[in-house]
Chains A and B, each alone.
Chain A
């Protein structure tokens, strides 16, 4: 029971703390909604006309999902770590049996629930507002979960190396925004300079976007990776990256001053 019990206690406290911050709850769900309304319904996808949204609506589904899978963990984890540091909570937790990995896992579980709900909302809105025709593949759940693990780890790293909540949020925005737009989410590789491709391949969000696109929109023609089906191959890469980032994130969490 012990490890599970500790994670359950931390998850329960984290969940209660989150849902009782109504402003945070509201904007967590409002942010992706407003993005879909602006880009999907107001700017509109127009495949025949070129420009920013030149692809069919289904092409952008990974981008909309990426908004919550990337930004929510980055900003929430960054500020949560900073808040824990400011309140000397890690100093307290360091003297309990809870390990840093367990703490991060519990916070990741809270984020997974929040982001899972937000993802459902996004998929519904994308279909209703943009008319996107997508396949609901169960592997989408795995992509969202692994993406959350990866970016919770990154958020923990940011929170550990910034000196305040404000700093953590600013850093998460500064890192999140370029990642969001330069990871084959909204902008395809063909729209970027050729020399930029290696940088796109360095972003974990790229593998999320390619894999989700391959799973939900077969017509996109996502390429195989070393002869392996792109849905599985990109998930595999994302799993490896997530494991590394999560481990670094857990180690970054301060146990001492």
Chain B
């Protein structure tokens, strides 16, 4: 655990009845860092954010913000955007920001915040009449009215169009540059890769991997790959000096319609093309890609899901065995 952590979670556990939301989640976020929490639905991201902001009480473990309990920390230094947050819908965007600003002693001018989230022209529109993306940007603005030192954003760009998303991204980058600590959850790997200094992957209630995006990609993302759109059998590439296989995932198309050449540099693509020509192997396209955070996510989340499923199966098997023993 880093000594200078502004936000810390140690062994947080939380269950809702039979459902385990957090099972020993730990993380530490340093001052001025942007930390992205990624993970599949139900992994515990929102519960972890709630535990860190004091809006849920963990069953065990400890959460600290700026060295204090989340419920004791100075609220004026926090900005929180909950997931699925809906403010009063018959206030204008400007009135909403003025309302939330009015809850703090030292607040920013709502007009400045509106401009920051790219809504300077729609300040007089009722919240309910804004588009979904504009509404989400107002909600992001509501977290910025007090110029927080620590900002929690639970899926801040959900429902925002690409241009609006980039506005929010630039905003977060500016905040980080000015020293604000940001913890965000997202399903958008491009968002995490662009914004985050470090990423934590949450699965089944635990942070199963954390590190810089580059380190995670290096450790878990696999190798660079050349995808060849062809129906040829991978065995037809036996003489190629790179390993070749069917893709594990092929963007919604059949895995039988492509092969993947791994561990290949861009300079070596020409040799593959020569190989295809020499063997008269038909192909319709070539795509070269380096591994990215999405590969990390899919690899680790898949592994965690397999482990979880195996564990559930084990429990079921043991239960069946006990029942069988009792019956006998």
Partner-B contacts on A (CB < 8 A)? 1-2, 5-6, 8-10, 12-13, 16-17, 20-21, 86-89, 91-98, 255-257
Which residues of chain A have C-beta atoms less than 8 A from B81's C-beta? 92
23 pairs across A/B with beta carbons < 8 Å?
A1-B105, A9-B100, A9-B101, A9-B102, A12-B99, A13-B95, A13-B96, A17-B90, A17-B91, A87-B85, A88-B86, A91-B85, A92-B85, A95-B53, A95-B75, A95-B78, A95-B79, A95-B152, A96-B75, A97-B76, A98-B103, A255-B55, A257-B55
Instruction: Give CA–CA (A12, B95) in the complex, Å.
Output: 10
Instruction: Give CA–CA (A10, B99) in the complex, Å.
Output: 7
Distance (Å) between the CB of A214 and the closest chain B CB? 40
The 8 Å CB contact of A92, one of B54, B57, B76, B142, is B142
**B90 nearest CB neighbor, chain A only:** A20
Which residues of chain B have C-beta atoms less than 8 A from A92's C-beta? 80-82, 85, 87, 142
B102 engages A6 (CB within 8 Å): yes
Distance (Å) between the CB of A5 and the closest chain B CB? 6
Which residues of chain A have C-beta atoms less than 8 A from B78's C-beta? 95
Instruction: Give CA–CA (A88, B86) in the complex, Å.
Output: 7
Q: Given the known inter-chain contacts A16-B95, A17-B91, A88-B86, please indicate yes or no for A95 contacting B55, CB distance below 8 A.
A: yes
B102 engages A16 (CB within 8 Å): no
Q: Given the known inter-chain contacts A9-B99, A87-B86, please indicate yes or no for A94 contacting B55, CB distance below 8 A.
A: yes
Which residues of chain B have C-beta atoms less than 8 A from A20's C-beta? 90, 126
Instruction: Give CA–CA (A16, B88) in the complex, Å.
Output: 10
Instruction: Give CA–CA (A87, B127) in the complex, Å.
Output: 13
Which residues of chain A have C-beta atoms less than 8 A from B102's C-beta? 5-6, 8-10, 12
**B152 nearest CB neighbor, chain A only:** A95
B103 engages A256 (CB within 8 Å): no
Distance (Å) between the CB of B281 and the closest chain A CB? 55
Q: Given the known inter-chain contacts A20-B90, A21-B90, please indicate yes or no for A95 contacting B54, CB distance below 8 A.
A: yes
Which residues of chain B have C-beta atoms less than 8 A from A87's C-beta? 84-87
| B275 CB within 8 Å of chain A | no
Instruction: Give CA–CA (A94, B70) in the complex, Å.
Output: 11
